[in-house]
Amino acid sequence: MIQKFRWRDVKAEPVEMEGASGAKIRWLIDERRGARTFAMRVFELAEGGRTPLHSHDYEHEVFVLQGRGRLVTGGEPLVLEPGDVLFIPGGEEHQFVNEGAEPFFFICLIPLGARAGPGGR
């Protein structure tokens, strides 16, 4: 069954992982909505907020919605702005940091069952 809803209407939950600060997650699509392959999440980082520096075995895809941030990696940090798209292969250490004065929002897609990263259940 097709479902339509507003992403901001989904409850934001705190990201409770060591190293996270001012980070919230909205689980938009996962098995609870009938998904079989991927989960779609929206992260919200408050001013100065961050996800933990981490890596995991699975890839994920990211689309920046709003705000200004930085992706910290083993290489050069990347500045992130609305409309930017990231492909992060499995095994790549990374961290998202809000560098703006407004909240930083990004969509993140992961395979279902991959719950070890930020916002995992």
pLDDT of residue 115: 57
Q: Which tokens hold the place of 49?
A: 């907020």
Specify the CATH number for the domain of residue 61: 2.60.120.10
Residue 120 within any structural domain of the chain = no
pTM exceeds 0.75, yes or no: yes
Tell me the pLDDT tens digit for each residue of 48-105.
999 999 998 999 999 999 999 999 998 889 999 999 999 999 999 999 999 999 999 9
Domain that holds residue 69: 12-111
- Nearest 5°: the CA angle 115, 57, 98 is 65
Query: Do the beta carbons of residue 73 and residue 117 sit within 8 Å?
Result: no
Residue 72 within any structural domain of the chain = yes
